[in-house]
Amino acid sequence: MTIADHVTGSTIAGTAKPADAKPVDSKSVDSTPGDSKPAGAKPRATVPAITLPAIGERELRLDLFRGLALWLIFIDHLPPSLLTWFTIRNYGFSDATEIFIFISGYTAAFVYGRAMLESGVVIATARILRRVWQIYVAHVFLFTIFLAEISYVATRFENPLYTEEMGIMDFLKQPDVTIVQALLLRFRPVNMDVLPLYIVLMLALPLILWSMKWRPDVTLGLSVALYAVTWEYDLYLSAYPNGFWAFNPFAWQLLFVFGAWCALGGARRMSRILASPVTMWIAIAYLAAAFYVTLTWYVPQLSQFMPKRVEKWMYPIDKTDLDVLRFTHFLALAALTVRFLPRDWPGLKSRWLRPLILCGQHSLEIFCLGVFLAFAGHFILAEVSGGAAMHALISLSGVLIMWGVAWVISWYKRVADKSGAKTKNAVGNADLAGGG
Amino acid sequence: MKAKVLLSLVLLCGSLAAPVARAGDAAPGAATAPAACELPSYLLTSESQLPKVAEAVKAGKPLEILVVGSRSTTIPSSEGSSYPARMEAILKEKLPPSEAVHVSVEIQSKRTAEEAASTFVKLMEAKTPTLVVWQTGTVDAIRSIDPDEFRSAVTEGVVALQKAGADVVLMNLQYSPRTETMISAQPFLDNMRVVAQEHDIPLFDRFTIMRQWNDQGQFDLFSPSRGPELAKQVHDCLGRALAQFVIDAAHLEPAQQQN
């Protein structure tokens, strides 16, 4: 078991050896006869610039961490409680959103990249667009629930302590404008920023994949360039009634494209770097430093040990534009994860991690459910009781409901839809590409 | 096996909830007494200082404080109970009797930080306070102003106030659990912290303070009650906390005659 296998999650034993990891070199076309094709893939005339892990077992680590990200996003969307201290944003710069977008890029490229190689650009694009439509509908559904909640609060709540905050309800005065702006993805209430970002990224996916098919490294380079240009010239998408998108797609695309690049053979090629102890120690040192900085936010007494100069250079750590510190923090986390959590780790099959993995496997549904449950949780806290016990109960039942629904969805796939299941494989499997 | 998972999750959840629940049990009833205002000391202290306030008190000059705020600075129809008035009362109580303390309030309802900051030069010509408490961020958060623009507006405002010769305390947003799903406070809280750090001025963390009270059960900030009682109690505690904060940041010796 090499680190390369840890990293990429190639899959069925014996397939997809690192031999096809000299992608740019097109001269090697015929020199890799030993490279057994993934089961089910058609023999291709040329070895493409990208390599795909074989269809086979799911990469459970991806599901695991996406499931984890979904739980963390849910908990972060609830009002802070003790459970909030278990979420990673309290221990460093990056948070669950980074994990989520990266894995979404990875899995989307994995599924639709294969579709593009096997069925062509048009078919793959059509499939991607269908997925975009699903995510869009999910977003509009969530918006409807939000409108119901906010209207309810607006009519019931008149605490004089908060007369000013109630100004947020002003947009209800012109629902025509608000609803149209919401459909255009320009009006996004709090906590509803991730799906629009995901929609835009998925819309760009055909282009990204097409370009990756040609030159993965150039594509990644272009992505980095766009990121740099965004920072230099302050590109953004405007929002309604003012301001801009809380997650700037021009910046966040870097994580998505990086995920795609890793899925299409990049991770394998990086395995040397990832295996090196130097990388490991740099990552550990960086995470420790980030942890210390985070600590100064909660223990202000510590901040006197922070050089003013460093503070000046570092702050603010911008989430909207995916601050470089956040990105590198995610990289460090990811590097350590692939190093210490091999893809064949037996724990991945244990029933203890099963709930997380199940949730990660149906990420769009579970993400939407999480946003809805966060709304509902706020509502119960406000209307029934705001105690800490209630809070813990809500967090816990939210997670259990997510698990339960994920289980039901799997059951539908496994049992209820059985007749159609035989023809399905990873190619058409939207869940794997899922996200949200 | 599944039952075991459930049970352990329930236990975990219970043990997490228990300490807080206990803290909550002790609080009811104490709401009117200052005990309800209790806060960990780090929320009432600051690394940054208020040299001009210290100087004025040392020299026996009157302490003129201006609170620039928005609607959350007041309680509709009971001005006397709002936090600026309570701060004035507490400061008078705690400082030597010879010290004249006067707090005035400038309400800039529905104005963003940028709009408020543009009035500062004139405002400071009209009044010449020793200390300005600038409460801002709420309107910007409601309108989701670009956090970068917000930061530069706050910076401008702070610089204008300092140029006019006053010490500055920044006060951030209220903790408003009911609107938490609708107003994104975090970027504005973060940026105010950054400006405070950059200019080495004290930040009165109203948000964390109020959240602390809510979490500890001293106040139920989810309450839909229409009466002014809760608002009065919260403002009383805020006024006390702010007075304490100013005394600490200016290193003033509280008067001894209270014992």
Query: Residue A24: pLDDT above 90?
Result: no
Cβ atoms of residues A431 and A363 within 8 Å: yes
Higher-pLDDT residue of B178 and B123 is B123
- The pLDDT score that the predictor gives to residue A53 is 57
Which residue in B72, B142, B182, B208 has the most chain A C-beta atoms within 10 A of its own C-beta, making it the best mutation to test that interface? B182
% of residues, chain B, pLDDT over 70 = 84
Backbone angles phi, psi at A369, to 5 degrees: -60, -40
**Full domain range(s) for residue B242:** 2-252
The DSSP bridge partners found for residue A11 are: none
Asked whether the predicted pLDDT for residue A30 surpasses 70, the reply is: no
- Res A345 pLDDT > 80: yes
Q: Which of A149, A374, A386 sits opposite B220 (nearest CB)?
A: A386
Q: What are phi and psi of A93, to 5 degrees?
A: -80, -40
A242 to chain B: which residues are within 8 Å by CB? 143-146
In this predicted model, what pLDDT tens digit does every residue of B15-63 receive, in sequence order?
444 444 334 333 333 333 467 788 998 899 888 999 999 999 989 899 9
Q: Give the residue on B whose Cα is nearest the Cα of A385.
A: B222
The reply to whether A194 touches chain B by the CB within 8 Å rule is no
In total, chain A counts a number of residues equal to 436
How many structural domains is chain B composed of? 1
β-bridge partners, B171: B135, B204
Q: Is residue B259 included in any domain, yes or no?
A: no
ipTM for this prediction: 0.75
Q: Is residue B41 part of a domain?
A: yes
Tell me whether residues A167 and B177 touch, CB distance under 8 A.
Answer: no
Q: In this model, does residue A201 exceed pLDDT 60?
A: yes
Amino acid B166: pLDDT? 95
Query: Taking CB atoms and an 8 Å limit, are A168 and B144 in contact across chains?
Result: no
- Dig out the tokens for A194 from the structure: 């991730």
How are beta strands B101-107 and B131-135 bridged, if at all?
A: unpaired
* Highest mean pLDDT of the ranges A18-32, A33-47, B150-164: B150-164
CATH number at B161 reads: 3.40.50.1110
A163 vs B1, B71, B198: nearest CB: B71
The one-letter amino acid code at B164 reads A
Shortest Cα distance, chain B CAs vs residue A158, angstroms: 5
The residue ranking higher by pLDDT, A29 or A360, is A360
Q: Choose the closest CB to A165 out of B20, B147, B183.
A: B183
Average pLDDT over residues A192-197: 89
> Nearest Cα to A380, choosing from A396, A368, A365?
A396
> With a CB-CB cutoff of 8 Å, which residues 146-165 of chain A face chain B?
146, 149-150, 153, 156-165
pLDDT for the residue B17: 41
- What local confidence, expressed as pLDDT, does residue A55 receive? 52
Task: Report which residue type is found at B47.
Answer: E
- Only one residue has tokens 């005065």, namely A173
Residue B211 counted as domain residue? yes
Interface A-B: count of C-beta contacts within 8 A: 158
* Site from B107, B181, B204, B210 to mutate, A interface, most A CB atoms within 10 angstroms: B181
- A236 Cβ neighbours under 8 A, 6+ residues apart: A230, A244, A245, A248, A250
Model confidence at B65: pLDDT above 50: yes
Across A194-219, average pLDDT: 94
Closest chain A residue by Cα to residue B143? A242
Asked which of A250-254, A319-323, B153-157 is least confident by mean pLDDT, the reply is: A319-323
pLDDT at residue number A377? 87
Residue A159 is nearest to which of B24, B217, B225, comparing CB atoms? Answer: B225
Give the per-residue pLDDT at B104: 93
Establish if B43 belongs to a structural domain: yes
Closest-CA distance, A159 to chain B, in angstroms, reads 5
Q: Mutate which of A155, A165, A191, A385 to disrupt the B interface (most B C-beta within 10 Å)?
A: A165
Q: Is position B220 within any domain?
A: yes
pLDDT at site A227: 95
Closest approach of A242 to chain B, Cα-based (Å): 6
pLDDT of residue B30: 33
Residue B12's pLDDT is what? Answer: 43
Instruction: Please check whether residue B161 lies inside any domain of the structure.
Output: yes
**Distance of alpha carbon A51 from alpha carbon B182, whole angstroms:** 44
Whole-number pLDDT of residue A57? 58
Nearest CA of chain A to the CA of B110: how many Å? Answer: 8
pLDDT of residue A132: 95
Classify residue B258: in a domain, yes or no. no
User: In the predicted model, is pLDDT for residue A418 greater than 60?
Assistant: yes
Burial class (CB in 10 A: 0-12, 13-18, 19+), B69: buried
| Matching residue, tokens 């003790």 | A82
How many Cβ atoms from other residues are within 10 Å of residue A226's Cβ?
17
The number of helices, as runs of H, and strands, as runs of E, in chain A is 18, 0
Q: Give the pLDDT confidence score for residue A3 in this predicted structure.
A: 41
Among A159, A242, A319, beta carbon nearest to B223: A159
- What is the chain B residue with the closest CA to A394? B13
The C-alpha of B215 sits at a distance from chain A's nearest C-alpha, in angstroms, of 7
**Most confident segment among A77-86, A195-204, A295-304:** A195-204
**What string of DSSP letters covers B74-126?**
S-TT-GGGSHHHHHHHHHHHHS-TT--EEEEEEE-TT--HHHHHTTHHHHHHH
Domain contains B139: yes
Is residue B9 very low, low, confident or very high in pLDDT (cuts 50, 70, 90)?
A: very low
Taking CB atoms and an 8 Å limit, are B143 and A242 in contact across chains?
Answer: yes
Residues of chain B found within 8 Å of residue A159, distances taken between Cβ atoms = 178, 223-226, 230-231
pLDDT given for residue A36 in this prediction: 39
The pLDDT of residue B13: 42
The DSSP output letter for A266 is I
d(CA A53, CA B232): 64
Residue B143: other Cβ atoms inside 10 A: 17
Instruction: Please report, rounded to a whole number, the percentage of residues in chain A having pLDDT higher than 70.
Output: 81
Per CB-CB distance under 8 Å, the chain B contacts of A400 are: 6, 9
Residue A297 has pLDDT above 50, yes or no: yes
CB contact under 8 A, A80 and B211: yes
Looking at per-residue pLDDT, the higher value among B115 and A243 belongs to B115
Q: What confidence category does residue B71 fall into, taking pLDDT thresholds of 50, 70 and 90?
A: confident
Portion 370-389 of A in contact with B at CB < 8 A: 374-375, 378, 381-382, 386-389
At residue B27, the pLDDT reads 36
Taking only the tens place, the pLDDT of each residue in A170-187 is: 777 888 888 898 899 988
Closest chain B CA to residue A83: B16
Instruction: Among A171-175, A374-378, B131-135, B243-247, name the one with the lowest average pLDDT.
Output: A171-175
pLDDT of residue A386: 64
